[in-house]
Structure 1
């Protein structure tokens, strides 16, 4: 099969290559997926660049997320999975067979059925972004998605991949959603996802506009804690949970006393370290929402497998929407 891979970490143009490798066989508890689209996340290029300190032992086929059809199952796997169309998540986590290839072998626990009428673009967009969004909306709370009904949610960066799904999942759960964006173009994306109020954070009066929508949010899905602390605290109160899923070049200084007075909490979210039970809860909610037609694909830019370097560089340079590799 053809696969994009790297044997050492570094710049995309220096370490990524497309090669012929043997089609892997699924082992016990695993399935093999014929990949029809592979989604690229920021953590994919950061791992390939060496920013996470993970050098491959032999070679690594990157990308955590993908969509395709199960074409073989290993021992101890339900044989009825064969032939099912599925989306994958955390495919390259502790596994050399990521989705940037014609076939990927993953634990059966890391695939979920994709509704028959859902496009490949949606399946490739789920995984890390949608499951991260789901966990951010649930972490530190109780009662599951139902607890969000009638609540107010603030989503920072509503046009980003995690922000997009945070809006859609929160609306699916019955919450009201306000989101911040940096441009009118991104504002249109956030409105299309269902946000009740979209605020351009580059314009004056951001805090006042959000406070006009609500003076107390129950949940913040946060992409830039340091930059957004003043806004988050302005609408935080007893029980507010701020779920932070991304870091910044400089670690922010946390005003502990203000958080104590507000009785608000910060939870940090990195999907790869989420406890198994909580991860499965987030995955199950994502799968349910996808099955209900509540989730939509991001705007997609497609690259062929041979253009994997350009695809990685596009994500590294902040491409809007989702970059997808088509084997």
Structure 2
């Protein structure tokens, strides 16, 4: 039995779509009604990291588990690992972040992920770490301004990141959950090449068939925008991550997706083409349309 957590999030829902037919799968979710498009026979149970009994129920009979946590600074990993060890889980696959390997990264989010990786290594269970760079899907946060103003606003627009398609991260997770040989391994997951927000804006404009403008945010404006969605400590961490990106810390591509899945990592152009409706209408739709796992990777 495989347990999937985070099934309503960016990676978990893609993992569920890719697990092989006939595989015994259980999904743990705070709100089971939000888990959609699961394969026939998939068991969906209510569970919360802060509820020990719900964890015990969800983990009963599980051999391998995917753990996805997002409460920065919280102890969800510790709670899950204690319950998993008690339940006899043999192998835990953890969604972490590429920044963990960067000795210059010392922000809150990265320290939290490092500590959680250490907990898993010391748990006595077999483990696999998935360390993705930023998700390409983070650019969905631009959709509203693209549609209403034909503009993208971001900090450090010419800095590059080898961002990764969440579908490729999910494919790697499925490999680790269903194959032998991933125990004790760290998989750093990136896209095929570094790309900047300015270049992403241009690609979106070409796909939409309209001119899009990139507007550089000042540090103060970026801080204010992030502050509307995140606590101050998380904002500080995200800005530190952006500074590391500007310094070139996130520009190295890895071939991990190809090695694990047998096919190259998807480009941003591919991801954008597959999700362009979120930003506006395609040019061939008969009219011109107007055009977020916190990972610090």
Provide TM-score, normalisation by structure 2: 0.37
Larger helix proportion of the pair: 2
Larger strand proportion of the pair: 1
* Higher RCO (C-alpha under 8 Å, 6+ residues apart): 2
